[in-house]
Amino acid sequence: MTTAMSPADLRSNRWMLAPFVVLFLLVAGWPLARSIWWAVHDGRSLTSPPVFTLTRHLSRIGSDSALWFAVANTLAFTVIFVGLLLPIALGLALLLNSGRVIARGALRTLFFATHLIGPVYVAGIVIGIVSGNATGGSADALNEPLLAMPIVLVACLWMAAGWAMTYFLAALQSVDGELLDAAQMDGAGAAAVFRHITWPAIRATVLFVGFVAAAGALQLFELPFVLFQGPGPGNAALTLSMYLFSVAFEQGDLGYATAIGWLLALIVTAVSAAALRKQAETP
């Protein structure tokens, strides 16, 4: 049994939140505030006091062709990645959920394994396959600008499909079995059952997985970085995070890099807001 606290009690017990508030301000609040400060200051000189330079950063963001190429590359990758990931993962989940497959547990583990080993190892395996050490392929495939993003895309799908499939499997297993049985008894075909019963039941999960995958894709860094040791042939695999890294650590312009970081945060926030709105609309 729970007893509601009176407003007076709540007010007097607010101090109990203090440890959390202090910790939050230290661990999250201070770095956030500091990054905003950096984003509007010129961080190129480490020895002289930073100069307020919001307009310079804004005008540079506006005219920086490499930045906008990275933004376009990242957004295109995100759209294609999420667009392919969802049907592939859902297909795998439906297959494993159908009961027609043997060794389902082993397959589930196998599909999920790439997510467990992480992007660096996945990139290593992909280099082995593409460079021909494992398959007799062509080492120069990694030097082709037109192949750079497709290679990254396939590697990312390989890594993420098992992860997304796990969510979909859980969602599929929570679909009301009685409804499915009733529909089948009423003569509904597989497509009709999926469209009218399964899909409405798992739609929220699909949206959630799509949103998380999009947020991850927008921050793509490790895989292309390990695959190409940089932005790839002709910068073809340049992503926003890689460009941020390059500006901060190769060009040494921490202020501008932080401004790019905030641009990335804004894009992720916009995508999140759109996903949340869509989720709220889901019945």
Partner 1 sequence: MFSQSGKTGPILLTLALAAGMVLLFVPGVSEAKHQSAWVFDPSSARSYERLGDVQVELLPSRILAVRVMAAAVARLPCAADVVEIESGTSRRGLQPLSSALARTIASQAPAARCDLWREGNDLVALPRDVHPVAVLYFKERWQDAGIDLSEIRSWPAWLAACERYEQYWSAQGTRSAAVELPRGNAAIVMLLLQAKGSHLEAGLLQPAVVETIAEYAAAVRRPTANGLKGSDSFGVGREPFRRVEQSALAMLTGDLGAMIAPDWRVGQIRQLIPGLSARLGLIPFPAEGKTPTWGGTGAGVPIWNSPSPGMQILSRLLADRQGQKLRYTRDGVVPVTVAQNPDLVESSTVDDYFNGQATGQLWLKLAQNIGPVPVSGEATAAIQRELNAAVRAGVAAARTSSGQSDDFIKRVVREQLQAGQRRVDLAVAPTRQRSDGSPP
Summarize as ranges the residues that interact with partner 1 (CB under 8 A): 43-47, 60, 63-66, 69, 138-140, 142-145, 228-230, 232-236, 246-254
For 207, the token pair is 């949206």
Angle at 19 between CA 13 and CA 20, to 5 degrees: 95
Cα 50 to its chain centre, rounded Å, is 33
CA–CA gap between residue 160 and residue 115 (Å, rounded): 6
CB of residue 200 to partner 1, shortest distance in Å: 46
Residue 136 burial (C-beta neighbours within 10 Å; 0-12, 13-18, 19+): exposed
Q: How far is the CB of 155 from partner 1 (least distance, A)?
A: 15
**Identity of the residue, 216 or 233, whose beta carbon is nearer to partner 1 in the bound complex:** 233
C-beta of 127 vs 172, nearer to partner 1: 127
The smaller minimum CB distance to partner 1, of residues 138 and 173, is found at 138
Minimal distance in Å, beta carbon 66 to partner 1?
A: 6
Nearest to 126 by CA among 94, 159, 101, 96: 159
Q: How far apart are CA 76 and CA 68, in angstroms?
A: 12
End-to-end CA distance of the chain: 32
Query: Judged by CB, which is closer to partner 1: 163, or 243?
Result: 243
**Shortest spacing between CB 153 and partner 1, in angstroms:** 17
In the complex, the smallest distance separating the C-beta of residue 32 from partner 1, rounded to whole angstroms, is 16
Beta-carbon contacts of residue 240 (< 8 Å; ≥ 6 apart): 67, 70, 71, 74, 218, 219, 260, 263, 264, 267
Q: How far apart are CB 76 and partner 1 at their closest, in Å?
A: 16
Distance CA 220, CA 241 (A): 6
Phi then psi dihedrals of residue 52, to 5 deg: -65, 125
Minimum distance of partner 1 from residue 116's CB (angstroms): 24
Cβ proximity to partner 1: between 173 and 229 the closer is 229
Residue closer to partner 1, measured from CB, 56 or 278: 56
Residue 87 or 252 with smaller CB distance to partner 1 = 252
**How many CB atoms neighbour CB 273 within 10 A?**
10
State the Cα–Cα distance between residues 272 and 161, nearest whole angstrom.
Answer: 21
